[in-house]
Structure 1
Amino acid sequence: MARCPRCGSEALEEINFNTYKCHECGYMIRNPDDLELVERENGDL
C-alpha cells in the first residue's frame, strides 16, 4: 500500500486520474511517482 509522503498515512483516496488526497493531513499528491518512491526507498532503482 502506498503511503503519504508528508505524514506516512495509508489513508489515501484517488479523487481524480493521477490525483490522490491524504485523509490524515490533507496533502494532495498529483504525481503518483511520489507514492512509488515511498514503496522503493529501501531498494535499488
Structure 2
Amino acid sequence: MAELRKVVYPGRSELVTYVAVVLIFVTVVTAFVASLDFGLTKAILAIFG
C-alpha cells in the first residue's frame, strides 16, 4: 500500500496525449505491416505464378 501512494497518475491532458501517440503509432505500424504483406504477396505471386 505504501508503494501505491507513491504512484503519480497522469492528468487529463497527458492522458489524451499518450492515447493519441499510441493510436498514431499503432496506425503507422499497421499500415507498414499491411503494405509489406501486400508487397511480398505480389512479389511471391509474380515469381511463382
Range of TM-score over shorter length: under 0.3
User: Which has the larger strand fraction?
Assistant: 1
TM-score (norm 2): 0.26
Q: Give the TM-score taking structure 1 as reference length.
A: 0.27
Q: Which has the higher helix share?
A: 2
Larger Rg: 2
